[in-house]
Amino acid sequence: MMPGILSTLIWLPVLGGLLLMLLARGGMASQGGAAPALPRLFALAVSLLVFALSLPLYFGFEQGTSQMQFVERLPWIERFGVEYFLGVDGFSMPLILLTTFLTPVIILAGWDVIRERAAGYFAAFLVLEGLMIGVFSALDAVLFYVFWEAMLIPMFIIIGIWGGPRRIYATLKFFLYTFFGSVFMLIALVWMYLQSGSWSILDFHALPIGLTEQVLIFLALLIAFAVKVPMWPVHTWLPDAHVEAPTGGSVVLAAILLKMGGYGFVRFSLPITPDASALLDTFVIALSLIAIVYIGFVALAQSDMKKLIAYSSIAHMGFVTLGFFIPWAIVANSGGTDGISLGIAGGMVQMISHGFVSGALFLCVGVMYDRVHSREIGAYGGVINTMPRFAAFMVLFALANAGLPGTSGFVGEFFVILASFKAGFWYAFLAATTLIIGAAYTLWLVKRVIFGAVANEQVAGLTDLSAREFLVLMLVAAGVLWIGLWPQPLTEVMMPTIENLVDHILQSKVPE
């Protein structure tokens, strides 16, 4: 039997990664010095193949329906009703494409930078790619949970082996936070299985649940997803993880792993516990606004480039959770449902855009770090003089981070701010402060690092982008500009799913 497209996308990179590891053990391992060419070529080939194979998900995607597509459903552990159940809708499909698009980029970014145990490094990213696609396409709760947890293993390896000096501390902090969150999620999933007699997430969606139970489930899921997003105040693992992670690790962490939290909200929390969401929405909105405002100011105070971008990530992810949790406030304030889908679409677009923009910024820091071996802002100044082509990219991505119209960074924030006004003046007011604060920390970074006279000898000796680095940044820049100039191809595949979710969440799940 031919495996389905989703299975291929999951298992091809996983198997490719495992194979690479085996081969590396068998004598292809680096002998010091230059990285061997074969592992990275192999990894790149696999990731490009995966990307090519993922394109039918978009072009073959049936628009105008919120039904799951490309479904694969086989019994797995029949005794417990666990199934191998995969499928995608307008929420998961774009995230999968983001994953398959960025993985080759990440592999290219590590091309001749990673010299120690290079085969293992590339293998870890391939395995990670497959598992992340698994998270986005799993429709069985056990399968989802297995991917969700397993995905962390390659991530730990990436930070733990190729990371910076405090990598052990960072990994453990990351571990504790996520483990703490996942346990609660598991309990909630099991409870729902016991109620519905099925592990299917779609069955969970249809499950009537009393208000008290909804609140408990909601809180359990909130902990799991809030850690991933991450939301204030469970965010402090992220800056540490970013600082210690190698460039590729930071990119995948910011671009895709953080999206797991946002995805969790639209896949689980909103449709399963709408009444609890309606009850506790103000709480989540408050956390989102704190992320936008408070974390924005914190970003302003950073002197480490990676920390600054990490905090900026948290602030930008605030728009995702804000967009997802304003529906009830909109109904309460305006009496209508106009703007709800705008907010959710904003959150979704923001996730994709953030994948490009924050990924790109981490790539940029990587480019500089590879040359100067410092992440301190103070170690730079006037980089534009010696790296003009790099500076052009960095300024572009910085402006996208500051939400400039025409770049992807604008679209999601614009939608969410417009929508949040319908929920209340002050929601929009606080959210819109990102226009000022976001521009302040991002452009101040650019001013200190990129512009100015050549600050020191190291900057004077910099060489501009290599062809490989140029290609890497070019690919991401294309994504940033495409979504900024014409988001319609992205939003139109999401809309039916969003409309369906809106219908879903406005109906009570509390049994009569």
Partner 1 sequence: MESVYLAIVLAPLLAAIVAGLFGRVIGRTGAHLLTIGAVALACALSLLVFKQQVIDGAEVFNQAIYTWAVIGDLRMEVGFLIDPLSALMMVVVTSVSLMVHIYTIGYMHDDPGYQRFFSYISLFTFAMLMLVMSNNFLQLFFGWEAVGLVSYLLIGFWYTRPTAIFANFKAFLVNRVGDFGFLLGIAVILMFTGSLDYYEVFERSEALRAATVEVLPGSAWSAITVACILLFIGAMGKSAQMPLHVWLPDSMEGPTPISALIHAATMVTAGIFMLARMSPLFEYSEVALSLVLVIGATTALLTGLLGIVQNDIKRVVAYSTLSQLGYMTVALGASAYAAGIFHLMTHAFFKALLFLAAGSVIVALHHEQDMRRMGGLRRYMPITYWTCLLGSLSLIGFPGFAGFFSKDGIIEAVSEATRPGAGLALFAVIAGVFITSLYSFRMFFLVFHGQERMDEETRSHAHESPWVITLPLVLLAIPSVLVGWWAVGPMLFGDFFGSTIFLLPENDVLGRVAEHYTSPLGFLLHGLGSVVPWLSLAGVATAWYLYLHRPDLPGLIQSRLAPVHGLLVNKYYFDAFNERVLARGSVGLGQGLWRFGDVKLIDGALVNGTARLVSWTAAVVRHLQSGYLYHYAFAMSIGLALVLGWILLRG
Q: Among 94, 160, 262, 359, indicate the residue that binds partner 1 (CB under 8 A).
A: 160
Q: Give me the least distance between CB of 487 and partner 1, in Å please.
A: 5
> How far is C-alpha 74 from the chain's CA centre?
29
Taking the least distance from each CB to partner 1, the nearer of 140 and 275 is 140
**DSSP, residue by residue, 407-469:** SHHHHHHHHHHHHHHHH-HHHHHHHHTHHHHHHHHHHHHHHHHTSSS--SHHHHT-----HHH
Kindly state whether residue 345 participates in binding partner 1, applying the rule CB under 8 A: yes
* Spatial contact of 51 and 100, defined as CB atoms under 8 Å apart: yes
Q: Is 487 in the site for partner 1 (CB under 8 A)?
A: yes
Kindly report the three-state secondary structure assignment for every residue of 99-167. Answer: HHHHHHHHHHHCCCCCCCCHHHHHHHHHHHHHHHHHHHHECEHHHHHHHHHHCHHHHHHHHHHHCCCCH
> Among residues 122, 108, 102, which one has the least CA distance to residue 20?
122
- 193 part of the interface to partner 1, by CB under 8 A: yes
Compute the Cα dihedral for 85, 62, 229, 226 and give only its sign: negative
CB of residue 293 to partner 1, shortest distance in Å: 10
Verify binding: residue 315, partner 1, rule CB under 8 A. no
Residue count, binding to partner 1 (CB under 8 A): 82
Residue from 190, 202, 372, 510 binding partner 1 (CB under 8 A): 190
Greatest extent of the chain over all pairs of C-alpha atoms, in Å: 73
From residue 28 to residue 67, the character string flagging contacts with partner 1 as x (rule: CB under 8 A) and all else as - is: ----------------------------------------
Judged by CB under 8 A, does residue 460 bind partner 1? no
Interaction with partner 1 in 357-386: which residues (CB under 8 A)? 382, 384-385
300 binds partner 1 (CB under 8 A): yes
- Within 110-129, which residues bind partner 1 (CB under 8 A)? none
The residue among 206, 218, 204, 264 whose CA lies nearest residue 81 is: 204
Q: Which is nearer to partner 1, 4 or 452 (CB)?
A: 452
Residues 382-441 that bind partner 1 (CB under 8 A): 382, 384-385, 399, 404-406, 410-411, 414-415, 417-418, 421-422, 424-425, 428-429, 432-433, 435-437, 439-440
Note whether 272 binds partner 1 by CB under 8 A.
no
Give CA–CA dist 377/373, Å, rounded.
Answer: 12
Among 35, 43, 119, 298, binds partner 1 (CB under 8 A): 298
Neighbouring residues of 55: CB distance < 8 A, sequence distance ≥ 6: 97
CA-CA distance, 499 to 341, in Å (whole number)?
6
Q: In the bound complex, what is the minimum distance in angstroms from residue 49's beta carbon to partner 1?
A: 28
Distance CA 157, CA 171 (A): 9
CB of 4 to partner 1, least distance (A): 25
> Could you say whether residue 208 binds partner 1 (CB under 8 A)?
no
Q: Least distance from C-beta 415 to partner 1, angstroms? A: 7
162-181 residues near partner 1, rule: CB under 8 A: 168-169, 171-173, 175-176, 179
Considering the complex, what minimum distance in angstroms separates the CB of residue 274 from partner 1? 19
Shortest gap between Cβ of 348 and partner 1 (angstroms)? 11
**Is the CB of residue 118 less than 8 Å from the CB of residue 107?**
no
447 is an interface residue for partner 1 by CB under 8 A: yes
Please, are residues 95 and 108 in contact by the beta-carbon 8 Å criterion?
no
Name the minimum Å distance from CB 125 to partner 1.
16
Contacts 24+ apart (CB under 8 A), 453-457: 453/381, 453/382, 453/385, 454/381, 454/382, 454/385, 454/386, 455/380, 455/381, 455/382, 456/379, 456/381
Exactly one of 74, 153, 460, 471 binds partner 1 (CB under 8 A); which one? 153
Question: Which of residues 36 and 496 has its CB atom nearest to partner 1 in the complex?
Answer: 496
